[in-house]
Structure 1
Amino acid sequence: MVSNNPYESDELLQQYLVFHYGTGAQQFPYVFGGSDALHFPVRCVVEGVDWAAQMPSGARALDLGCSVGRSSFELARHCQEVVGIDYSQAFIDAANRMASEGRHAARRLDEGSATTQLMLEVAPEVDRSRVHFEQGDAQRIRADIGQFDVVIACNLICRLPEPVRLLQRLPELIKPGGQLFITTPFTWLEEYTPSANWLGEGAQDSFAGLRRALEPAFALDAQWDMPFLIREHARKFQYSIAQASRWRRTSFK
């Protein structure tokens, strides 16, 4: 049966493998523009989580909408256990191959029918055994998954049919004092999210809607903009600006 999910397509799988694991030169070989938006999955972990805050021994992290897994592996540099969940089985299969073999071939489109074969790798110093990937729906996370010290959800919210369903579940997933990091370009599209479910009263102010859904269980710690770049081919790129926000789990329910 053919899936209607565009994230099951081989075209997007190849794009996201390069987006997550490609070097700067493999993604954007130009000296002008774009370089500030590279390595987004790494930056989500390095910049998104306040690692200066004390992390408990044996910290657990959850990567929602993990795609092909780069942020999950970066979380494993700091956390003893990482769970990565994505709705796309193709993305999870690729992430699992990265976990088991430490590498994955990718076909980068250059122009027309011209492609470059790449062998993309997880950094050898990352303990891949700390990471577990599973296919799942972020709106219906399994009940026995437990609690986490860190949860990240990068560019996921505006791809969910019912984003509030996830936001309402987050308080029970994150331990008091734990951190939540969210990025989203708030690209609301009816094909993913019915307009009735857009945050902020029809996306008039999406961040205000996000904030209303999270408070008082979460307190806003910081908010900023994060550019990201996805290569389509050698002369076409998607340059987007996600809104990033870090939240702390309060003692409120």
Structure 2
Amino acid sequence: MHARLLDLLVCPVCLPEEHPLQLQDHRHSGDDITSGTLVCPDCGAAYAITDGLADLVPPEKAVPTAQARYDTGRLSASYLWSHYADLWEDREATDAYTRWLEMAGDWEGPGLDAGCAVGRFTFEMAAKSGFAVGVDLSRPFVTLARRIARKKEMAFTAPRQGHLTTRFEFSLPARLQQGIAEFVRADVARLPFRAESFGFVASLNVVDKLPRPMLHLVEARRVCARKATVLLADPFSWSENVARPEDWLGGTAESGDSAAVVATMLGAGPGWEADIAGSAWWTIRDHVNRYERIRSEVIVAHRSAE
């Protein structure tokens, strides 16, 4: 865990009260804290740093069944392909991550990729602003993302057909090696960061996978600086297996279109405004003959410093 994160961290158990975490019994290599424990002085909750990865998920947090599937090796391969396939110019790849970055415009200060999966957009943000943090509830995802950040390359196998596999490998181009990209395990509905920490918060294809998506929107705005941008992209593929319809953000006869509902929520309150910015197609690979092409609608919200 990069030492720069220490000034931003608060105990997620104690939210909405913000109690800075204290580092104990740690080891480090340069600016990288390789092991140790982050302790809340108020409630006593302890969070481990192991092999440089900080686990900031509240100790009592159970991973919902619908989200636990993201801890499988097959899905890790699918997401690695989805995030990085354009780097080796795979003909099925899309330009979603660069398009989302263009839609975000310019911002000042560090960035937060809330629900980062295997990290591509975090690298895009770090290259643009100098420092970005990716968080995800999936330990395999953030472990892979941090490995890419340290080694600047990755090789992995993905299903080809039946028991056959295909090997893919890539290196981060020079532009994605700029800045500092750090990754931690955390819950996007209880972000372990103090208020007003980030100049840009991204939420890509996350809200329809959460049991309480509104909590994520509240947290995304809480950690925004006085002048900040939020970019939310999602296909709004609501499922009753994930969340109750009354907890969806739109998608029902009573609530209406999800993009409009989210834009209204993100734009509510003094200093905030939000608009539907368009959409972007992205693709995820299951095997050589099966790809899923998905369109995510994009909402961009700005918080004024005034």
TM-score category (smaller protein): 0.7 to 0.9
Shift in CA distance, 81/69, structure 1 to aligned 2, threshold 3 Å: same
Work out whether 1:246 is the aligned partner of 2:300: yes
- 5 Å-filtered alignment, 1:1-253, equals 4=65, 5-23=68-86, 27-28=90-91, 38-45=94-101, 47-51=102-106, 55-56=107-108, 59-127=109-177, 130-144=180-194, 147-200=197-250, 202=252, 204-217=256-269, 218-250=272-304
Contact conserved, 2:71 with 2:139, CA < 8 A, in 1?
yes
CA-CA distance at 1:239 after TM superposition: 1.0
- The corresponding residue for 2:38 is none
- Stretches of structure 2 that go unaligned for 5 or more consecutive residues are 1-62
CA distance in 1, matches of 2:147, 2:287: 24
Contact conserved, 2:112 with 2:202, CA < 8 A, in 1?
yes
Secondary structure at the residue paired with 1:180?
A: strand
Secondary structure at the residue paired with 2:284?
A: strand
CA distance in 2, matches of 1:216, 1:125: 36
AA at the equivalent of 2:133: V
**More deviation, 118-127/18-27:** 18-27
CA distance in 2, matches of 1:243, 1:143: 27
Contact conserved, 2:76 with 2:140, CA < 8 A, in 1?
yes
AA at the equivalent of 1:121: S
Contact conserved, 1:66 with 1:85, CA < 8 A, in 2?
yes
**More deviation, 94-103/127-136:** 127-136
Shift in CA distance, 93/25, structure 1 to aligned 2, threshold 3 Å: closer
Contact conserved, 1:20 with 1:70, CA < 8 A, in 2?
yes
CA distance in 2, matches of 1:144, 1:169: 10
Shift in CA distance, 109/25, structure 1 to aligned 2, threshold 3 Å: farther
Over residues 178-227 of structure 1, what are the superposed CA-to-partner deviations in whole Å (9 max), with x where a residue is unaligned? 11111000000122222220112736321232133223243124520211
CA distance in 2, matches of 1:40, 1:246: 15
Structure 1 ranges of 4+ moved more than 4 A: 24-27
AA at the equivalent of 1:18: W
Contact conserved, 2:189 with 2:215, CA < 8 A, in 1?
yes
AA at the equivalent of 1:103: E
> Higher relative CO (CA 8 A, sep ≥ 6), structure 1 or 2?
1
1 or 2, which has the higher helix percentage? 1
AA at the equivalent of 2:256: Q
Q: Which has the larger Rg?
A: 2
TM-score by length of 1: 0.85
AA at the equivalent of 2:300: R
AA at the equivalent of 1:232: D
CA distance in 1, matches of 2:133, 2:177: 14
CA-CA distance at 1:251 after TM superposition: 5.7
CA-CA distance at 1:99 after TM superposition: 0.9
Shift in CA distance, 65/216, structure 1 to aligned 2, threshold 3 Å: same
**More deviation, 75-84/18-27:** 18-27
AA at the equivalent of 2:100: C
- Stretches of structure 1 that go unaligned for 5 or more consecutive residues are 30-34
TM-score by length of 2: 0.71
Contact conserved, 2:259 with 2:276, CA < 8 A, in 1?
no
Aligned-residue CA RMSD (Å): 2.4
Q: Identity across aligned pairs (percent)?
A: 24
Secondary structure at the residue paired with 2:273?
A: strand
CA-CA distance at 1:128 after TM superposition: 5.9
CA distance in 2, matches of 1:211, 1:124: 35
- The corresponding residue for 1:32 is none
Q: How many residues align?
A: 238
CA distance in 1, matches of 2:283, 2:257: 24
AA at the equivalent of 1:206: S
CA-CA distance at 1:83 after TM superposition: 0.6
AA at the equivalent of 1:40: A
